[in-house]
Amino acid sequence: MTHTAIVFPGQGSQKIGMLSDYYQQFDEVRKTFAEANDTLQFDLWEIIQNDEEKLNKTEYTQPAILAASIAIWRILSIHSNTQANVLAGHSLGEYSALCAANGIQFSDALKLVQLRGQLMQSAVTDKACAMSAILGLTNEQVIECCNTANDMGIVEPANFNSQGQVVISGELQAVERANEIAKKMGAKRAQILPVSVPSHCSLMKEAAKKFAIALDKINIKKPEIKVLHNYDVVSHTDVKEIKHTLIKQLYCPVKWTQTIEQMAKDGINTVIECGASKVLTGLNKRIIKELNYYDTSTVDTFEKLIEQVKA
């Protein structure tokens, strides 16, 4: 029997021209982006197709990825008999998951993630900051690197993405020092990422305080499908707890490895990445090889998924 999880990608999965093949074939994409444009009061689809500079700015990236994910979720819901037992999203993707579970309205989610991007960017205008991917060390070794380098400033684990892949986040000098320590410890790679905001570290606490005020005004309901949260890898039904985890998520690490491990423990055997990306699918395969993984990054991969589901 198939037990299915659907997961939603986060920032970094965007690319210029994404979903153009879907747009031609599926009315759901056109309707979803028309709704997004009305909500945001600018042409999000135009940015995705033609303005790479804007697309890579956090305040545009976040609604773009959310809208892309929800468009494909709607196609999946209408054009297949896929039934999700649990949902999860990586960082920003958690908002896509909550939206898909009818815990939050699409228009509210768009406004929230746009504000989230703006607050994250404005939180560090006076600091040189960075994120870096460290490959080939254990979680404990990466934590040790950060602890050793923190005399240079704030540096903390941000994303536990898979075994042997951890992203760190913080002030530039401290991140660079942690990279040096990681290489001496035998890391295969310790590489600064092309991002402007140090996500999921304590530099985001001020942004989280401001975000909490906006979040308090949003109507969030009990999700109709279980959503595993990044902060604690738990599915919450209490609205206050959901809001609490979304605030904590801004400055605490994304526990993605634990998320996929928890799904496997709960009997999930199929994981579908819902969005214009296969970034999570690559990570997921490294966490637990034995599960069945699918992505929806193109119409071709979507159609293969539909055939498998029918089978």
Residue 91 annotated among the catalytic residues of the structure:
yes
Torsion, Cα 216 219 224 225, to 10 degrees, reads -40
73 Cβ contact partners less than 8 Å away, ≥ 6 residues apart: 6, 8, 96, 99, 100, 274
Q: How far apart are the first and last CA of the chain?
A: 12
Angle between helix axes 106-122 and 93-100 (nearest 10 degrees) is 170
Contact 167, 133 (CB under 8 A): yes
Catalytic residue among 13, 91, 277, 297: 91
Contact 13, 65 (CB under 8 A): yes
What DSSP string runs through 3-67? -EEEEE--TT---TTTTHHHHHH-HHHHHHHHHHHHHHTS-HHHHHHH-HHHHTSHHHHHHHHHH
Catalytic residue among 90, 200, 229, 236: 200
Catalytic residues: 91, 200
